[in-house]
Chains A and B, each alone.
Chain A
Amino acid sequence: MTSRRSTPAEALPAREGGGYPAADGAGERLAYLLLAQEVHEFLCMEADLLDERRYDEWLDLLTDDVSYWAPMRRNVQFGRWDTENTRQGQDMNWFDEGKSTLRLRIKQITSGVHWVEEPSPRVSRMISNVHAIQATPSLEDPEEVSVRYRILIYRNKLEDSTDIFAGKRDDVLRKADGKWKICKRTMLLDQSVLLSATMPFVL
């Protein structure tokens, strides 16, 4: 029996640091709010691209070295967080891939004969709880930011096939040519057995 404080296998470890600056100057708080708004806007815009099936534009939001990971989840005893999630780079996962595979998935989805996506389902991705932003080198002049938030994905296909996927995301965004891009995403889907026959494209 490992201790109750065991680290949850790299997935969403307790965040230390980041978040709304409490005691620092008003300037830093303002910089945080501006950055938080910018990040929130970015995430909502990304959700729009996917919901509107603008997949090529979405792909442009990813850095070439993007890491996109969604572990599978297990039912474990309280405290056994080290075994709760499958491990990136070692185990099977829902997703553990980079840009080239995501590009293949888009090629498949846009073929018109990818039956999972035919007829095209109606999807709404909802972003909330955007918080715990950390920026380097600084809040005022950020080149890389990490952010934690929740996502709720509603998918309806044909008439009555309806699925809801809820989870927690940790993203790292990097600024390239003045624009934010996603360089790392971790998605913790809150299901152990997937309760749907198929996974939505981009969890």
Chain B
Amino acid sequence: MGNGRQRNGTWVDLDRGTISREIFVNEDIYRSELERIFARSWLFVGHESQIPDPGDFFLSRMGEESVIVTRDPQHGIHVLLNTCRHRGMKVCRYDQGNTSVFTCPYHGWSYSTDGGLVQTPGDLFGVPQYRAGYREQLDKSEWSLIHVAKMEVYKGTIWAAWDEAAPAFSDYLGGMRLYLDALLDARDGSEGGSEVLGGMVKWRMPCNWKFAAENFAWDTYHSPTTHKSAELAGMGPGGEGQERHGSVHKNQARRFTSGLMAFPALGHATITGPPEVGAEAWFPEFPNDPAVAEYFEQVEAKRRERQKGKVTVTPGNGNVFPNTAFHPWFPRTMVVWHPVGPSRTEAWRWYLVDRDAPWEVKDLLRRYYMRFSGPAGMVESDDMDNWVYATEASRGTIARRYPYHYGMGLGFAEPVENLPDAVTVKASFSEEGARAFYRRWAELMDDEP
């Protein structure tokens, strides 16, 4: 187990529960993260429903890199590095669309949606002046756009990795998969079936990406303070006066199971309890929308029936290491915290609904998601200042000498019977999730890539 010992001294001390501020502000450490974390991990790039038809594409990011996610004429999905092999120009600068080729605006090299240089003979297509200039001395097949080393489509979500040696996606997820399922499966418990609403919310924050990522790895602790104003306003899914995640339906005892789950060897964490037979889900009340209330009562009844006697989990917010976080239920969204510099992060948020849900349900969720998340969201906007000014106040020469405290609940993690890679804490507040995140972070930073 790495402890993150580097030339700058001990960054991550999990025995004492302290972490150096250097890892949030230091340029060299940041450069190293791009190499050791982002070039080796599985990263979420988007959702299949964004590219339903052949020729569809959208731009995404992996670490600092721009990538194009495409669907080729045979319906195959590709994740391609968005840079021309000739002089590096971005071959695509449109956020989304449909095309048969990406033509570089610089010298005109053109690539198909599967990433290959267009092979049409002659001097006009693929590589201009192929005969007159190159004298046909160029093997076009060797100069495709760079493909990711690995790609996986999991229940509609598209993930990719640059490292050939990255573990299989299912091994990378480990037991966290159950919790990702709670996000991605339909509300009635059937497999998959989600789609994303149009419009990805994107914004830039002058903070280190890890503040945002670790916030979804068990930081229930910040909620009563950070989100106090949202609760005072009462902006939940059921309308005015409701708690931000929804007031619990009168027939249900509780919203979250108490307990927190972390995967110390993998770096994932989620804010809910261990798997159990007949795990609870919950639905808020919708006093103003009887049709929506009825819909959720129906899907919940189906879910209970479908999962009867099976081991399932109660949905909880989580973070898939390193930077894909999610709210699995109300709201139901995924977000990637793209690193843009030691003190700069670009957030991209996707919003999920059941494809088969009636429009009035999708629309109610859409409105709730808008007032919850993103830089204009009543809940999420209050996170931003905390991350931004924590970053700023940690840059000083003096401030850097004093590590952060990550010791809450240290030593109280217990093994989980049916998930050998997990630990749990039977409490509502603990920093074991963040410690799991930084344990994995330190391990990767110590390894030679």
Contacts and interface: CB of A to CB of B under 8 A. Distances in A.
Contacts of B199: 71-72, 86, 91-93
Interface in A108-164: 108-109, 111, 113-116, 118
B7 interface: no
Contacts of B228: 111, 113
B234 A104 contact: yes
Nearest to A199: B376
Interface string B357-397: 00000010011011100111010011011101000000000
A197 B388 contact: yes
A101 B202 contact: no
A3 interface: no
Contact of A87 (B198, B204, B386): B198
A177 B226 CA distance: 42
A41 to B, nearest CB: 28
B107 to A, nearest CB: 20
A80 B97 contact: yes
Interface residues of A, number: 41
Contacts of B367: 96-97, 101
A77 B385 contact: no
Given A75-B94, A77-B94, A198 B378 contact: no
Contacts of A175: none
Given A76-B97, A107-B233, A197 B369 contact: no
A108 B233 contact: yes
A198 B375 contact: yes
Contacts of A53: none
Contact of B382 (A93, A94, A115, A194): A115
Interface string B200-231: 11111111000000000000000000101110
Nearest to A84: B95
Interface string B66-104: 000000000000000000000000000111110000000
Nearest to B239: A100
A96 B370 CA distance: 8
A14 interface: no
Interface string A66-89: 000001101111001001001101
A107 B351 contact: no
Q: For chain A, what secondary structure do more than half of its interface residues adopt (helix, strand, loop), or is it mixed?
A: loop
Of A72, A96, A100, A197, chain B has the most CB atoms within 10 Å of the CB of: A197
Given A76-B95, A94-B376, A101-B371, A116 B204 contact: no
A197 B94 contact: no
Nearest to A70: B376
Contact of B233 (A89, A91, A105, A194): A105
B228 to A, nearest CB: 5
A86 B375 CA distance: 16
Contact of A92 (B204, B240, B369, B378): B369
Contacts of A114: 229, 382
Contacts of B207: 197
B197 interface: yes
B198 A75 contact: no
A116 B202 CA distance: 18
Contacts of A71: 199
B96 A104 contact: no
A72 B376 CA distance: 12
B449 to A, nearest CB: 30
A15 B97 CA distance: 27
Contacts of B378: 104-105, 108
B235 interface: yes
A190 to B, nearest CB: 15
A104 B346 contact: no
A193 interface: yes
B232 interface: yes
Contacts of B239: 100
B344 to A, nearest CB: 10
Nearest to B226: A115
Interface string B237-252: 0011000000000000
A94 B234 CA distance: 20
A92 B386 CA distance: 25
A195 interface: yes
B315 to A, nearest CB: 21
B95 A192 contact: yes
A107 B198 contact: no
B97 A197 contact: no
25 contacts: A72-B199, A72-B200, A76-B97, A80-B97, A87-B198, A91-B197, A92-B200, A92-B201, A92-B366, A92-B369, A95-B370, A96-B370, A97-B371, A101-B371, A104-B240, A104-B378, A108-B233, A114-B382, A116-B381, A195-B204, A196-B375, A198-B376, A198-B381, A198-B384, A199-B375
Interface of A: 71-72, 74-77, 80, 83, 86-87, 89-97, 100-101, 104-105, 107-109, 111, 113-116, 118, 192-199, 203
Given A108-B233, A199-B374, 15 more contacts: A74-B94, A74-B95, A75-B94, A77-B97, A87-B198, A90-B198, A92-B197, A92-B198, A104-B234, A108-B235, A109-B229, A194-B204, A195-B204, A196-B204, A197-B203
